[in-house]
Amino acid sequence: MNSEQFHQLTHLVMDSPAKPPEALFAGGFDDWHARAHLAHLLSDPQFEHLAEAKELFRSIVDQEVNPDFALDVETKAYALQRLSALEKNDNEYENALYHISLSIETAEESDFLYHYLLRGELWADRWSILHAMGKTQDAESECDERIDIYKNLPIEHNSYLYYGYRFKAQLAAERGDITFIVKDYMRMALSFMDIPESYRDDLESAFSIDHEGSTFILRAIDLATPNPDNLHWDI
């Protein structure tokens, strides 16, 4: 991609219903932040420019960031997470695994509490890719290791533990384990989430469903769970 193509694509997204602020692209093609912003927008299938989104994301893989500047660290880690997701969707599992691992490394080099990036979710993305690659045992071992590391810390709202137990619930459901095992894992997961009171009745209704299908139960609980992106997390 060159500067002219970048300019054309910025106007494509700015003229769309998304209407992102022009300031996001003020630095132009030479600004890696601007390339990351454009890539995130183009990663929406509505624009039909997923190849260009991946190209832009890949252009910042080797970008050095200021480890003392939280926004830089988060912008790169988030871009790598999204790149990995696009690659996974295209069955490019080795690339997806590499880039989510790099995202985790980038995010965990600092102790910042990020605005829209959850470290636990990054790990869950990695486990999902390993699972898709047929390396489920490796994924589960890593999950158990994260849980063991963080389970005794005095941290109330812990994304590592929420996503860890959520992944174990997913595996249990896929294996057809009895429903109370899936429910137990999800109760553990949700105990580390800052759940608004307005969601609690619907969650209890989901847990009370009497159904033989573990996958059905898990989906009902997920539908009643608030979006993790909109909640407070301590880590």
Within-domain flag for 129 = no
CATH code: domain of residue 96: 1.25.40
pLDDT tens track for 101-119: 999 999 999 889 899 899 9
Q: What is the mean pLDDT of residues 186-208?
A: 96
Q: Hey, how many other C-beta atoms are within 10 angstroms of the C-beta on 211?
A: 10
Domain containing 176 equals 136-235
Same domain, 84 and 176: no
Answer yes or no: is pLDDT of 161 > 90: yes
Between 46 and 34, where is the model more confident?
Answer: 34
Answer yes or no: is pLDDT of 74 > 80: yes
- The pLDDT score that the predictor gives to residue 160 is 98
Answer yes or no: is pLDDT of 212 > 80: no
Within-domain flag for 5 = yes
Answer yes or no: is pLDDT of 46 > 90: no
Same domain, 108 and 217: no
Same domain, 6 and 72: yes
The number of distinct structural domains making up the chain is 2
Answer yes or no: is pLDDT of 122 > 80: yes
Within-domain flag for 126 = no
Same domain, 11 and 46: yes
Same domain, 205 and 93: no
Residue where one domain finishes, among candidates 88, 117, 146 = 117
Which stretch of 58-62, 141-145, 180-184, 211-215 has the lowest confidence by average pLDDT? 211-215
- The pLDDT score that the predictor gives to residue 42 is 96
Same domain, 181 and 225: yes
Same domain, 86 and 176: no
- The pLDDT score that the predictor gives to residue 198 is 97
Q: In the predicted model, what is the mean pLDDT of the chain?
A: 95
Confidence of residue 18 (pLDDT cuts 50, 70, 90): confident
Q: What is the mean pLDDT of residues 15-37?
A: 93
Residue where one domain finishes, among candidates 117, 147, 180 = 117
